[in-house]
Amino acid sequence: MVKKILCHCFSLAALCSKQTYKNPQFLSKSTFPLTAPVNNLPLYTQIHRRNQKPTIITDFQQHICRNLVLLPSKLSIKSISKRVTMVTLVVSTTIDPASIGPASALLAMTGWSSGPSFEGVRSYSNREVRLLQHDKSIVVEDNLDTRWEELTQENVDNVIFLSKHTAATNRPALTIHPIGVPHLKEGDILPHGGRAGWVAPPNPRMGPWIRLLSEISQSHNLIPEFEITMEATHHGPVTSKPTMFLEIGSTLEYWKREDAAQVIALLVWEGLGLGGGAAVGQWDRNCEKNKVLLGLGGGHYVPHHMKIIRKDNVWVGHLLSGYSLPMDDPGQSKVEDAKGIGGTWKEAIRVAFEATKIAFPGGEILAHLDHKSFKGWQKKAMTNYLEEMNIKIAKPNEFLE
C-alpha cells in the first residue's frame, strides 16, 4: 500500500513541480480527486519556496502519510519516510501518582531523549514511542493525538493513557479499558470528560495486553493482592485514534506503589517492543484469528466477558456495561421489536460497533451478551436490534475457533 502511495506521490510531485514553476496559481486552480479534505484543509497547498523551487505539502491518504512533504527538485525515499512515521503516544500527568509513577519508571529505562513541548505538554522520544507529560487532569486534555500530528507531522497510530483507578471497594487492581460515553446525550453532564455520544476507537492491544499484564504481575508477585481485569468503556478525554487506559487502583496507598508502577512500565516497555523484542498486540487484518469481541451488558468489571478475554488470541473492542445501555421500560411483558424501546442504548451500540470496526479493519466484529444481566424484554429488544444492524451474536466458544 505504501509503495503504491509513494509511486503516486512521485508522479504527482513531478506534475505539481512543472506546472507550479510555470504558473504559481496552478495549485489553487486545479482539482485532484484523490481523497476528501482532512479537517477542512485543502488537499494541496504551496507552503514556501526553497531556492525558487516550490515545496508542496499534501494531506493525501491521511492514515498513511498525513502532511507528506514532496520536494520536486530532489525526491528521496528517506525524506518521505520521515513523514510517514507512525508513533504511539503514551500520556501521563504529574498530578496523579498512579500516572507519574509508571511514567517515571518508563523514562528510567534506556533510549529516551527529549522532544518538543507545546501548550504546557512536555515530550520524550524512544524509537516510535512518544511519552507526553502534562500537569492537568488526565481526562481533560482533549485531542492530544491530532494536536501532536499538527505539531510534528508524525502520524499517531494509537494512544495509551496512564492513570489512577478508583473503586468503592478500595480493592487494589490493575486495569485496562477503552474510553467513551456513548450513552450520554447533548446537554448531559460529563463528569469525567469526553463528548456526549462519543467513543474513541478501542486500542487493539487491549486483549493481548491484559493477558501480558497478568503474566508480568504474576512474576512480580502482585497476584493475588491485585486484581487484573478490564473495565467497561467510560470517560474521556476526546481522541480520534485507537485508545486505551492503563490504571492502578484503588487508593492513594496503591497509586504510589513502586512495584505496581514498575509493572505498568514493563507492560508498556515490552508491549511496544522497546526492549528489542516483538511488539505485542499489533492488529493485522490478514491474521488467522480475526474475531473481535464487542461486549454488551454486565457490570463495570465485565466478569462475563473476561472469561473469554483471558483466553489466547481473543481481540477486544468496546465493552458496554449495563449503565451504558439505558433502556426505557415499555411497561409490557412482550416486545416484538426494538423500535418502541426508548433510551440511548441503540445509539450507544451503534457508535461502539462502528468505532470497533475502525480499530480492527478487516476483523469480524461479534457481539457477546451478558445474558443474565438483561431482563427478558431487554434481551429481546437488543437481539432484534443487533439483527437489524447485521451484528452477529456469538457464543463464547466461537471466539476461540
pLDDT on residue 330: 80
pLDDT for residue 12 is more than 80: no
pLDDT on residue 331: 75
**Mind listing the pLDDT tens digit for each residue in 233-278?**
999 999 999 999 999 999 999 999 999 999 999 999 999 999 999 9
**Sheet arrangement for strand 291-296:** 315-320, 291-296, 364-369
pLDDT on residue 85: 85
Torsion 303-304-308-311 (CA) sign: positive
Per-residue pLDDT band for 138 (boundaries 50, 70, 90) equals very high
pLDDT for residue 368 is more than 80: yes
**Mind listing the pLDDT tens digit for each residue in 159-211?**
999 999 999 999 999 999 999 999 999 999 999 999 999 999 999 999 999 99
The mean per-residue pLDDT over the stretch 2-26 comes to: 41
pLDDT for residue 28 is more than 60: no
Q: What kind of architecture, by CATH, is found in domain 291-399?
A: 3-Layer(aba) Sandwich (3.40)
pLDDT on residue 322: 96
Alpha-carbon distances of 376 from 15, 325, 373, 381, 393, rounded to whole Å: 64, 15, 10, 9, 16
Q: Which of 115-129, 324-338, 355-369 has the lowest mean pLDDT?
A: 324-338
Q: Which of 37-41, 83-87, 371-375 has the lowest mean pLDDT?
A: 37-41
pLDDT for residue 329 is more than 90: no
- Give the domain ranges of the chain: 2-83, 85-271, 291-399
pLDDT for residue 15 is more than 90: no
Domain 85-271 in this protein, CATH class: alpha beta
Task: Convert 202-251 into a string of H (helix), E (strand) and C (coil).
Answer: ECCCHHHHHHHHHHHHHHCCCCCCCEEEECCCCCCCCCCCCEEEEEEEEC
DSSP helix/strand/coil, 75: coil
For the chain, what percent of residues have pLDDT higher than 70? 77
pLDDT on residue 55: 35
